[in-house]
Amino acid sequence: MNKETLQQLENSIQYHFKDSGILDKALTHSSVAATKLDSNERLEFLGDSILGVVICEALFEKFPQYLEGDLTKIKSMLVSRKTCAKLADTLGLAELMKVGPGMENSKSLKGSIAAGALESIIAAIYSDGGFDAAAEFILRLFAPLIDQADAKEHHENYKSVLQQHAQQVLNSNVVYELLDEKGPDHDKCFETAAVLAGKRYPSAWGTNKKEAQQMAAAKALIELGLIKEED
């Protein structure tokens, strides 16, 4: 990698390497390396684990109200090959990868190879600058996706939040009562209310039973003061 390309990449990832050799290895695919030990495969293995730890800790600290299943769902989306490939594309890693003949136009270059390159870069930063430097890079890169994932998950998570509150605070479970349904079979609407510790909370309508339960849980959370009405 020439000096100008190295500087462009370092500016893109906002980290400057003391040892540029490890960065070069992080961008060397096994299809062009003399041996697999000369490729980025070992770095990819390490980077995958570092990414998982950093994302798990970030989600654990950011979302104290989420249950294990909710956290796992967000984490799986964030560390997926698809997400990593998209982020690698924003950094231009695919164009910098050294690959073997015929690989330049391969779909995997923009997919699994690019995702592996990102994981390798994470490991390279870790090896060159330590865990904090790698974590800073990961959190800076993934922060917008973490916020987007939360916005989506929060909308789908009212039932989980209400159930957690019921179990931890009231030592109870939530029951959903179907109060009414209207419309023809192919286009029904359902009215549902959440019942918690013997109290029925305001009902809500939905285009299916699941949606009605989610909206009923949201109304219960509003009345309990756990979320604001505009949420």
Question: Cα–chain-centroid distance for residue 194?
Answer: 30
Q: 95-111 burial, b if ≥16 CB within 10 A, otherwise e?
A: ebbbbeeeeeeeebbbb
Mean pLDDT across 34-58: 95
CB 110 within 8 A of CB 85: yes
Nearest to 64 by CA among 220, 226, 230: 226
Q: Which of 21-30, 128-137, 157-166, 168-177 has the highest mean pLDDT?
A: 128-137
pLDDT tens per residue across span 182-200: 988 888 899 999 999 999 9
pLDDT tens per residue across span 53-112: 999 999 999 888 787 877 888 898 899 998 999 999 999 888 888 888 876 766 677 788
| C-alpha count within 13 angstroms, C-beta hemisphere, residue 100 | 10
Phi, psi of 137, rounded to the nearest 5 degrees: -65, -45
Residue 16 pLDDT grade (very low, low, confident, very high; cuts 50, 70, 90): very high
Catalytic positions: 48, 119
Mean pLDDT across 141-160: 75
> Which pLDDT belongs to residue 231?
44
Domains present along the chain, CATH in parentheses:
3-156 (1.10.1520.10), 158-223 (3.30.160.20)
Token pair recorded at residue 122: 């994470």
Give whole-number Cα distances, 231 to 19, 109, 138, 154, 200, in Å.
Answer: 48, 41, 29, 9, 21
Is pLDDT above 70 for 25? yes
> Which pLDDT belongs to residue 153?
57
Residues 119, 120, 125: CA angle, nearest 5 degrees: 100
Give whole-number Cα distances, 10 to 1, 24, 95, 103, 186, in Å.
Answer: 12, 12, 15, 25, 57
Give whole-number Cα distances, 195 to 134, 158, 221, in Å.
Answer: 46, 14, 12
Using CA atoms, how far apart are residues 24 and 19, in angstroms rounded to an integer?
9
Q: In whole numbers, what is the pLDDT of the chain averaged over residues?
A: 88
Mean pLDDT across 146-159: 69
Percent of the chain with pLDDT over 90: 48
> What is the signed CA dihedral for 11, 12, 13, 18, rounded to 10 degrees?
-30
Is pLDDT above 60 for 154? no
Using CA atoms, how far apart are residues 229 and 102, in angstroms rounded to an integer?
56
Question: Cα–chain-centroid distance for residue 146?
Answer: 6
> What is the signed CA dihedral for 203, 206, 210, 213, rounded to 10 degrees?
-10
